[in-house]
Structure 1
């Protein structure tokens, strides 16, 4: 089943689009600060909290050229077991670039046998 397009009284079946060449560039600056939650130093810690402010600039070139900059933040929480065989990490990212709001999260659980 194809997609049917209607505009100005005309019908196109199946609908197709040729965007030609599209070029996308993205630059992200992301310094990260990590705090130990269960020890005096990060190197000795098995549980850590992290914060990373983000500065982002993007450029896309298709039929028009668009450039947007913005920023956001990333928060993370990670923990490892006493024996080092198990680890878990949770990260949430929130950004605003141009007029676009973006958010994502990641969960990683690892166990070595």
Structure 2
């Protein structure tokens, strides 16, 4: 069994990144919209809409991807949603402008 990593657009136009195991992502999104997580980020930002998801066979790979995406800014998340790989690549450049050391 693997893991889904997903991105939700909330009613306040913010993004939420999450993950869930299983074979169907629909019930998890329904839980977010039903307010099943009263202490969670999406509870006061409903309704939510899933705008991106990917499935990982290995749970460790999915968790790593979720953590990485959570650290991204809005522009990178929107490039991922749009499958705009050129923009995503450009936004991935080191901010210091120096090449990564070998």
TM-score, length of structure 2 as denominator length: 0.22
Indicate the structure whose relative CO is greater, using CA pairs within 8 Å and at least 6 residues apart: 2
Determine which structure has more spread, i.e. the larger CA radius of gyration. Answer: 1
Tell me which protein shows more strand as a share of its residues: 1
TM-score, length of structure 1 as denominator length: 0.21
